[in-house]
Amino acid sequence: MKPLFVAASLALGLCSCAESPPVVQILQTKQPSAACVVAQDAPGIARGRLNLRYGRNYVVGLIVNSNYANTPTEVGGVPLDPNPDTGGQGTAFVDSVKLSFDADSGASIPDQTLPYTAGLNPSSEGNLLVLSLITADVYSALLQAVPTNADPVQVQVTIQLTGKYAGSSSFESNEVTFSIDVDNRDVGVPTCAAGEVPESAGPCGNSGQDNVFPSCTL
């Protein structure tokens, strides 16, 4: 009877199988500088803030590893990938970013799939990518979801990278979740004088992100 029990278990899909971790892995989120540079030694962040009155975007830096390793292949004694650590069949090309949103207020914010271009060398660590999380559609939805001069709405943004290897097989990274407290509040930034241009020292020059506001408003 024991062999019959095992066969029945396999037929029902009751085997114990471990799922392999993604080969492309997002390890950490970091804040870019005003010049849009993500420093390796910059502290990681898991939560941010966006004031819709002064900013329409939120920019975040990603630390990404690619664990795919080239297998040396030769044709007629000539290696197809002369340098297995740079380029070649094991290069992972990111071609899109998937974003999904969950607001604690229950507001509906549309998921997004954005085109993106990046190349990750085989077996590479600490790749630095910069990503915009707020599209025009998301901004419009947030304006409807976030009351003026009220408490912030917490929005969870789930991020995933997708793409293909140079050898044509596709990949999906792990998912990471980043929280943004979104409000729409007047903090008293003055109106620009005649000829004055607003300036901001926020990440990538953004205003309204993480309590960095413009010098004036138009």
Q: What is the pLDDT of residues 118-142, one digit of tens each?
A: 999 999 999 999 999 999 999 999 9
pLDDT at 2: 45
Whole-number percent of the chain with pLDDT over 70: 83
Phi then psi for 7, rounded to 5 degrees? -60, -40
What would the mean pLDDT of 75-95 be, rounded to a whole number? Answer: 70
Three state DSSP letters for 54-100: CCCCCEEEEEEEECCCCCCCEECCEECCCCCCCCCCCCEEEEEEEEE
Find the mean pLDDT for residues 21-33: 94
Q: Which CATH architecture has domain 20-68+86-188?
A: Distorted Sandwich (2.70)
Lowest average pLDDT, out of 29-43, 53-67, 150-164, goes to: 29-43
pLDDT (0 to 100) of residue 86 = 63
Residue closest to 127 by CA, chosen among 32, 211, 61 = 61
Mean per-residue pLDDT, 96-108? 96
Predicted pLDDT of residue 69: 76
- Choose between 78 and 38: higher pLDDT: 38
Q: How confident is the model at residue 3 (pLDDT cuts 50, 70, 90)?
A: very low
Q: How far is CA 214 from the centre of its chain?
A: 25
Closest C-alpha to 184, from 100, 102, 105, 131: 105
CB-based contact 118:45 (threshold 8 Å): no
Asked whether residue 72 carries a pLDDT value surpassing 80, the answer given is: no
Question: What is the pLDDT confidence band of residue 77, given thresholds at 50, 70 and 90?
Answer: low
- For tokens 């740079």, name the residue: 86
pLDDT at 153: 97
Question: Does position 47 have pLDDT exceeding 70, yes or no?
Answer: yes
The pLDDT mean for the chain works out to 87
Q: How far is CA 47 from CA 24, 80, 121, 151, 194, in A?
A: 23, 44, 29, 16, 37
Alpha-carbon distance values, 142 to 7, 47, 77, 89, 160 (Å): 53, 17, 59, 42, 21
Q: What is residue 184's DSSP assignment? A: B
